[in-house]
Structure 1
């Protein structure tokens, strides 16, 4: 009888011990619009970099709009925002066909909005997507 109890309890203990914990940060879907010089950014990327650290969330900007929803969205909290866009968009060109087109892309957005960005946003908990719009000079 003792052996039967042990056999029945062992799988339950195993399952409880092996499920692990969910250490992933709470997230929220973030959506919005990005304008540069009062025009929608045709194509680019936006990155939400948690401060002081944490998993980065990003999304493509298309026709001035973005939506971060991968892995549940952006981790809650304060973020430094980086916005990038390059001339020529996402077009890929074969090196043999047009080698002059394969030079480094010309960045359209100034570094003060990407590598040296001082843009900040706080992603708060809530129901539904959070709207965050950015207007760049």
Structure 2
């Protein structure tokens, strides 16, 4: 009986093995090209900016600038580079953090639905919410584009705050 159970598992294991090898992505690898550069704003390196290259077809590549404004794009995890071709480029500092409730705040007599000083569910409005310092023409309404070509690409962005 034990041998019979093992023999019935064998076809299932073989099927799973074949399925895993068939889905390994060996024929679907994307060719990537190295992309590096420097982002400046008003002539100064822009640290901690998020640079996103969005190709016409395929997944985007991204990186965060270092203290000197330098970036090197990565594509889907640890694969370095970007898909060759035309890209829309967005540069942002990221989303401002959500406001946090003050643990010492007295909210016993606050009606969150009518109090102008509070957001949904009684969360205080952020009084020091940081505005995106990078103009929308470089991120939400980007006008930036780049062409990634075969080989190494050095693509710098010189942003103006006004």
Inter-partner Cα distance in structure 1 for 2:28 and 2:90 = 26
Greater gyration radius: 2
Displacement of 1:122: 0.7
Aligned residues: 116
Gaps of 5+ in 2: 1-17, 104-123
Inter-partner Cα distance in structure 1 for 2:46 and 2:27 = 37
Instruction: Please state which structure has a larger fraction of its residues in strand.
Output: 1
**Higher RCO (C-alpha 8 Å, min separation 6):** 1
TM-score (norm: length of structure 1): 0.69
- Partner residue in 2 for 1:82: 90
Displacement of 1:95: 5.3
- Partner residue in 2 for 1:115: 140
TM-score (norm: length of structure 2): 0.59
In the alignment, is residue 45 of structure 1 matched against residue 70 of structure 2? Answer: no
Give yes or no for contact 1:46–1:58 (8 Å, CA) kept in 2: yes
- Partner residue in 1 for 2:130: 105
Inter-partner Cα distance in structure 1 for 2:138 and 2:145 = 10
Residues 20 and 132 (structure 1), Cα distance of their counterparts in 2 relative to 1, 3 Å cut:
closer
Give CA-to-partner distance per residue, 1:23-64, whole Å, 9 cap, x none: 23210121110011111112110000002x310111001221
Gaps of 5+ in 1: 1-13
